[in-house]
Chain A
Amino acid sequence: MKLSKVIIENYRGFYGKNIIEFDVEKKDKNINLIIARNDTGKTTFLNAIYWCLYGEEQFYITKKSNKRIMSNKKIIETSIDGKMKLMVTLVFNDQKGPKYEITRERILKRARDEESDLKTIQQGDDLFYGMEMNATGTGFENIEHINDFIASNIPKAISSFFLLDGEQLKAIFTSDIQYKIKEAIERVANIDAITGTISNLIELDKKYSRDKSGIDANFGAIQKRIDDCDMKLDEHNKTFKETMKENEGLKRQIIELVDFLQNHNEAIIREYGASERRIREENETIDARIKSNEADLNRLVVESYILKNSEGSIKATLKKFNEIITSGNFPPAVDSAHVLQLLKRKECICGSKIKKDSEEEKKLKKLANTQSYKEYVRIISEGDSRLPEMLNSLDDKIKLIADLRKKISESELKLQKNSKDLEEINQKLKDSDADDIKEKAEEKEMVERAIYRNEKEIGRLEINIHDLNEVKKEYERDLTNVKIRDMKDQLLIKKSEKCKELINYSKSIKEAIMKKIKDKIEESTARNFKELHWKAENYEKVSISDEFSLSVKDKYKGELINELSQGAALCFGLAFMTALRNYSGYDVPIIIDSPVGKIDEGNRENIANNLPKQLKDKQVIFLVTSSEYTSVFKEFLENKISTTISLIYNKKTGEIDIKNGSN
């Protein structure tokens, strides 16, 4: 990846839009030169690249350097509250041509300030974006995650190894600034990727540990509980079946007993009950007949008795009647109406007055009620005809009385017989309750109690079986859960083991690579240093210790790393950085500000002659002052330069002018 174009707009001294282009097509010429006098934009150019990539500046002449990056001229020409844009674009090429365009833009507003005319206020965040040439090379496409892209391809951590200030190179290996060589090697050689891999694997392994359930997967204990449940269930089920079977037998038995008892009693009741009912009904009929006969008998006896005792009187009456009828001697006729008139007038038949309630009045009233003569004749005649009938009926009545007495006697005999029959039936009923039924009833009661006990037992067993099944299900769920969690844990353990294996391999790989790279950088630094420093033969050994500290020893004084001259230190720094750069995993150009600022012509010659070779195939951009770009330097470097650009301060405009070629 080579830097082919830098567009700087309104960045510090670069007013307006400035384009700096590098020729990246010349494969044998890898040096690009930017020549400028002091304070004419070299460091600004370096800072512009750094700002574009990371949003801040890195290279200051002093700590108090102006932090305002908007071109002063642009600020002044902008009205108060007016907005202005500051922008830097970097174009990187691959072998086919432009590949990436990285741009950072910042919008500022000019603010009113009594103390300064150059007061600006940033408007929102920087706009930072990138474009990438598509696979077919027909057009640019947006880079989705520009920060990720920069972090992966030009990480800030390695910026010190491709954006360099030559005058500060010595700080890399002196104790003044605590640069760690190991870290430098790790970063530039992209060991970060392996370190990151190890960190991620460690993090992943921690995750596996966290994800583990941590349960004690004691299947045996849970399985034993399930087996115990099964055993108890078997026992209970067996007892349940036996009890059910026994109960069914008992129920059959009780049905038989109930049938027996019912049938037995019913037969007897049916048999004797019918006889009893019949007898009782018959008795009721007989009783009624006896009562009727007795009533008839009583009447006949009375009638007969009266007739018998009145026989003489009747005969005498009959005789008298006959006499009366024969003689015609009836009492005189009395006129009832006449008698009633007398009573009304209170007079006697004889014409005398009568008193109330007197004997005479009573006689008159009686006389008034006396029947007429004809009536007497009728009654007497009738009685005369009926009296013989009455006397004749007495014999019939006596005969009927005898018949009735016979009938009553027969009925009473029948009643006696029936009573005897009823007693026999009652006795038979009593006899039938006795032994057999009693025995069966007791047996039934006993069987019923057994059934009750069994049903209670069956109920208890059902509850126990249900409860045991529930407990067993719970244990089975536990077992399943434990098994699932254990399977997961086992899988996590396997993953963790594999993870640890990869961690160990990665650590070994990292150590081995670090050792190899260290050895190669050590060898390369020593070789480069000898090529760059004219007096390098005096230095017996250049080495990097196992702790990754740099060491330069000479034949006479021993360790000299902290005592190197300016020139030797710069050459050593360049030698080390070049060695590092050649093992770098990052394909980015190296830009060095003031590479030969403080060294003599001899070293410049060596650097001009050898550094481009040492950084073969790498794009190198030297930012040099006119005083650095001496004729010797120029002579040895000229045929390796692809582009020369001059930055010239324009006194009239106060701007930096860009010119191709040396001024």
Chain B
Amino acid sequence: MTKLAKLIDDTIAELVPSSDEKEAILQAIKLQEKFGSGKSIDLLGKYEKIIEGLIK
């Protein structure tokens, strides 16, 4: 894990109380890192699934 990745993880752990939401934010950031600059992926659709996962 890079320093930055650890920093992000630590900060999320520090600021987000719910483990589901922690996981959701990490997942969203990973999606953004992976597909953020590309236009060939329906990123909003993937985000929507994360949100749907949270409200179930």
Contacts and interface: CB of A to CB of B under 8 A. Distances in A.
A498 B41 CA distance: 23
A495 B44 contact: no
Given A152-B34, A204-B48, A512-B14, A197 B29 contact: yes
Interface residues of B, number: 35
Nearest to B39: A148
A513 B11 contact: yes
B37 A148 contact: yes
Contacts of A423: none
Interface stretch (A69-77, A499-507, A604-612): A499-507
Interface string B24-56: 110011011111111111011001100110110
A582 B3 contact: yes
Contact of A196 (B3, B7, B32, B55): B32
A584 B7 CA distance: 11
A189 interface: yes
B15 A204 contact: no
A200 B25 CA distance: 12
Contact of A193 (B16, B36, B39, B44): B36
Size bracket of the A interface: 35 or more
Contacts of A203: 44
B44 A207 contact: yes
A516 B11 contact: yes
Given A200-B47, A505-B15, A151 B37 contact: yes
Contact of B4 (A502, A508, A583): A583
B26 to A, nearest CB: 10
Interface in A186-204: 189-190, 192-194, 196-197, 200-201, 203-204
B37 A200 contact: no
Contacts of B47: 200-201, 204
B36 A152 contact: yes
Contact of B44 (A204, A506, A509): A204
A513 to B, nearest CB: 5
B2 interface: yes
B8 A204 contact: no
Given A152-B37, A585-B2, A517 B7 contact: yes
Given A196-B32, A200-B28, A509-B11, A148 B40 contact: yes
Interface of B is mostly: helix
A625 to B, nearest CB: 34
A196 B29 CA distance: 8
B51 A498 contact: yes
Given A196-B32, A197-B25, A509-B16, A148 B38 contact: yes
B54 A505 contact: no
B15 A508 contact: yes
A494 interface: yes
Given A498-B54, A505-B15, A193 B33 contact: yes
A551 interface: no
Interface string A482-520: 000000000100110011011001101100110011000
A197 B32 contact: yes
A18 interface: no
Interface in A169-212: 189-190, 192-194, 196-197, 200-201, 203-204, 207
A69 to B, nearest CB: 25
A509 B4 CA distance: 13
A148 B35 contact: yes
Contacts of B2: 585, 587
A498 B55 contact: yes
Contacts of B12: 505, 509
Interface in A567-597: 582-585, 587
Given A502-B24, A505-B25, A189 B35 contact: no
Nearest to A496: B51
Nearest to A151: B37
The residue in A494, A505, A584 that gathers the most chain B C-beta atoms within 10 A of its C-beta is A505
Contact of A505 (B21, B32, B34, B41): B21
A464 interface: no
A145 interface: yes
Contact of B37 (A155, A495, A499, A505): A155
A505 B16 contact: yes
B17 to A, nearest CB: 10
Given A502-B28, A509-B16, A582-B3, A200 B35 contact: no
Contacts of A204: 44, 47-48, 51
The residue in B4, B33, B39, B41 that gathers the most chain A C-beta atoms within 10 A of its C-beta is B4
Given A200-B32, A201-B28, A495 B38 contact: no
A502 B21 contact: yes
A147 interface: yes
A201 B43 CA distance: 10
Contact of B11 (A501, A512, A582): A512
A151 B43 CA distance: 15
Contact of B7 (A197, A494, A516): A516
Nearest to B4: A585
28 contacts: A145-B38, A148-B37, A148-B40, A148-B41, A152-B36, A193-B29, A193-B36, A196-B32, A197-B25, A197-B29, A200-B28, A200-B47, A201-B47, A203-B44, A204-B44, A495-B52, A499-B51, A501-B21, A502-B24, A505-B12, A505-B21, A512-B14, A512-B15, A513-B7, A513-B8, A516-B11, A517-B7, A584-B4
Q: Pick the 10 closest A-B CB pairs, nearest first.
A: A151-B37, A148-B38, A196-B32, A196-B36, A585-B4, A193-B32, A193-B33, A197-B28, A197-B32, A512-B11
